[in-house]
Structure 1
Amino acid sequence: MGAPQDISLTLLGGFSLLIERQPVDVPVSAQKLLGLLGIRGPMSRSRIAGTLWPEVAEDRAMASLRTSIWRIQQLHRGIVAATANTVELAGTVGIDVREMTATARRLLDEQMGDLPLWWLSARFQGDLVPDWPEDWLVVDRERLRQLRLHALERLAERLTDQGRYGLALEAALAALRADSLRETAHRAAILVHLAEGNLGEAIRQFRQCQEILREEFGVEPTPATSQLLRGLVAPV
């Protein structure tokens, strides 16, 4: 069987593997292997085995790895490339995590060029396989969450500058849905409201931010946020 034209791995918001745009059932152990490779790229067999099966003997972990590779190859031989020492996803596999990471970095580095900003919000949705409890995911999940939130806030700022307030607010609120305690996301939403001339909405967003920070941390919004509405919001 030849390599398909389209293999895509989704890890943001949950796991899925599509071959020729059709979903494929993947055994759990094989899912974890694909997820690890999709997030971290090529790895040595010993590193993979130690990451995915840390509580078993090395020979059993290596055997589990071989089984997972075999199961993936039964789905299609064009998904993983394995040598005696390393395993990686084939270069033809589309991986949403890598696409999101590249797009977010371009946005943050001001290198988006003429790409339309309005479709970018959809690329920054969903945490990294949120239903997986594995310890090895903790750092990767937080790294990607922070990158996604920074990208959404920057996207809101760029769209506000373009006068596309509805889309800018959507990006800011997407960041708030991901983390309601994030003051910079509240600030991004306030700036959209102010730019659009919706003073009441801006004050309401500030009050919400103020209430959350007081309840959760016993602190007030920072001067960077408070000064946006200086003279417009009476102390509470």
Structure 2
Amino acid sequence: MTAQFRVERPDAEQVESFDLRLLGAFDLRASGQMVPLPLNARRVLALLAVRGRPQMRSSVAYTLWMDTTQPRAMANLRSTLWKIGPQRDRLLAICDESLWLAPDVRVDLIRVVDSAKRLISRAPDAEVDAADVDELAAELLPDWDDEWLRDERERLRQLRVHALEALCTRLGSGGRGAEAVCAGQAAVAAEPLRESAQHLLITAHLAEGNVYEARRQYEIYRQLLWDNLQLRPSPHLSELVSSANHG
């Protein structure tokens, strides 16, 4: 028989939503107040938030405690869930051998990923807000060294850079030059050797009439590219800057 995933919900007036932040640093709040949790409890919540779907208990245990035996890992998970205390049933949904985040936990990563995908797809109703730059520029739990985060960070990095480039383009097209420069700078900071990001930032500088800034950025990129890869900027980018110098 297939297990039915069902969450018992308290009365509406008793429901307390949580805000979980994973970008930049871990932070869990309820009604604006910080919720203290043991480190391993934070690791469980972070894993479930990043995975975004029900996870088998055994998978969670192995992922978080892969340097020990499976029985010990399962024991660690049981202990961690118990230590969350009375808030556990409001933070987690548990059914048979699966667990996932409760519906009332809002996660910044989910919101930012959705916004990034809409920017990349050029959805006509995607909001173009310069405030998105700060969230798109933030890394996923940068101070954590958990091995399972490596691939997740790389996937998010690729998404972030593409979204920042799309945001830079749309802000520039809308005549919002200063904001376009900020988005371009964030894209370059995320991946300094990426020519498409450098091209957009240089173009944003030129759109504001700042030839010096464009030339300076080009020289920084040219030196960085040579020092790291012994390569030179593409003829297309070089021509863009050269044309501006003689314009």
Residue 21 of structure 1 pairs with residue 40 of structure 2: no
70-79 vs 56-65, which deviates more? 70-79
Residue in 1 that maps onto 2:48: 37
Which of 204, 212, 215 matches 1:203? 215
What does 1:10-159 correspond to in 2, within 5 Å?
10-41=21-52, 42-113=54-125, 115-159=127-171
Letter of the structure 2 residue corresponding to residue 14 of structure 1: A
- CA shift, 1:147, in A, is 0.6
CA RMSD of aligned residues (A): 1.8
Which of 19, 25, 28 matches 1:8? 19
Unaligned runs of 5+ in 2: 1-9
Contact 1:12 1:128 in 2 (8 A): yes
Q: For residues 205 and 105 of structure 1, what CA distance do their matches in structure 2 show? A: 28
SS, match of residue 18 in structure 1: strand
Which whole-Å deviations, capped at 9, do the CAs of 1:66-116 have from their partners, x for residues lacking one? 222222343352111012210100111111111111000000001151624
After superposition, the Cα gap between the structure-2 partners of 1:174 and 1:53, relative to the gap in structure 1 and judged at 3 Å, is: same
SS, match of residue 24 in structure 2: coil
SS, match of residue 106 in structure 2: strand
- CA shift, 1:197, in A, is 1.8
Residue 175 of structure 1 pairs with residue 172 of structure 2: no
- Scaled by the length of structure 2, the TM-score of the pair is 0.88
Residue in 2 that maps onto 1:161: 173
Letter of the structure 2 residue corresponding to residue 189 of structure 1: L
The size of the alignment, in residue pairs, is 233
- CA shift, 1:125, in A, is 2.7
Residue 192 of structure 1 pairs with residue 192 of structure 2: no
Give the % identical residues.
Answer: 37
Letter of the structure 2 residue corresponding to residue 100 of structure 1: V
82-91 vs 67-76, which deviates more? 67-76
Q: For residues 120 and 157 of structure 1, what CA distance do their matches in structure 2 show? A: 14
After superposition, the Cα gap between the structure-2 partners of 1:8 and 1:195, relative to the gap in structure 1 and judged at 3 Å, is: same
Q: For residues 24 and 236 of structure 2, what CA distance do their matches in structure 1 show? A: 32
After superposition, the Cα gap between the structure-2 partners of 1:116 and 1:176, relative to the gap in structure 1 and judged at 3 Å, is: closer
Q: For residues 7 and 121 of structure 1, what CA distance do their matches in structure 2 show? A: 24
SS, match of residue 99 in structure 2: strand
- CA shift, 1:229, in A, is 2.2
Q: For residues 47 and 112 of structure 1, what CA distance do their matches in structure 2 show? A: 39
Unaligned runs of 5+ in 1: none
Which whole-Å deviations, capped at 9, do the CAs of 1:21-66 have from their partners, x for residues lacking one? 1111111111110110010022111111110111222121111112
- CA shift, 1:191, in A, is 0.8
Contact 1:13 1:125 in 2 (8 A): no
- CA shift, 1:178, in A, is 2.6
Letter of the structure 2 residue corresponding to residue 27 of structure 1: P
